[in-house]
Structure 1
Amino acid sequence: MKKIFITAIFAIGSLSAFAQEEVTVIETTEATEATEVVATQDDFSEVSSEELPEAVTAAVSKNYPTASIDKAYTNEANQFKLEVSLEDGTAGTLYADENGNWIEM
């Protein structure tokens, strides 16, 4: 009976160990412009698709021709996190360096 109780405690504890990604929004206002910075727990900040290097967009087009980039993020190491969706409705997250090489995270 004691083993069952301990096993149940570990099972419940392991489920709570997978916390959701925390998103913090910081707004900075200057005299003429307002800037919104989105910082996530994994240190990626959102950027527009136009700010992506040509090598990254070319890698997406080459390896996933039916994909569209929905959101893009970057970190201090010039790595990019891309949320993409395919024409068939599937979606996923890709990671690439600034040279368009895929990274496994």
Structure 2
Amino acid sequence: MKKLFFATALVLGSLTIVAASTTMIPDEINVEVNASEFKEISASDLPAAVVKALETDYAGATINKAYVNEEGQYKLEVTAQDGTDGTLYADAEGNWLEM
């Protein structure tokens, strides 16, 4: 019985060591959006749905630059009311996208 208990503990311990040694955590995760895919447009050329979504979800934000790609997705460089800058992505219907 002692041998069975010892063998079980040895197997479980080995599996734990193997699982721990094969788990890799990256030091850094890079997410890139190829900005060359987007063509700059005038903010007045944005669809009304995108402008309305910005006004609704980010009240007081101003659009610094606007871009569109071939898939009809919009990239907005905005300044929030508190002065922070950010980039938002939306589709033509005003739905926010994660890039």
Q: TM-score, normalised by structure 2?
A: 0.65
Tell me the CA shift for residue 54 of structure 1.
Answer: 0.1
Provide the rounded CA distance (Å) in 1 between the counterparts of 2:39 and 2:84: 24
SS at match of 2:55: helix
Provide the rounded CA distance (Å) in 2 between the counterparts of 1:70 and 1:90: 12
SS at match of 1:65: coil
Q: Deviations for 1:11-30, whole angstroms, at most 9, x for unmatched residues?
A: xxx99xx7x988xxxxxxxx
Could you tell me which runs of 5 or more consecutive residues in structure 2 were left unpaired when the two chains were aligned. 1-26
Higher RCO (CA 8 Å, separation ≥ 6 residues): 2
The percent identity for this pair of structures is 49
Partner of 2:74: 80
Over 4 Å off, 4+ runs: none
Partner of 2:90: 96
Q: Deviations for 1:66-91, whole angstroms, at most 9, x for unmatched residues?
A: 10011000000000000000121101
Q: Deviations for 1:21-48, whole angstroms, at most 9, x for unmatched residues?
A: 88xxxxxxxxxxxxxxxxx43x000000
- Between the two proteins, the alignment pairs up a number of residues equal to 71
Structure index of larger Rg: 2
Higher share in helix: 2
CA gap of 1:63–1:21, structure 2 versus 1, over 3 A, is closer
Could you tell me which runs of 5 or more consecutive residues in structure 1 were left unpaired when the two chains were aligned. 1-13, 23-39
Provide the rounded CA distance (Å) in 2 between the counterparts of 1:53 and 1:21: 22
Higher share in strand: 1
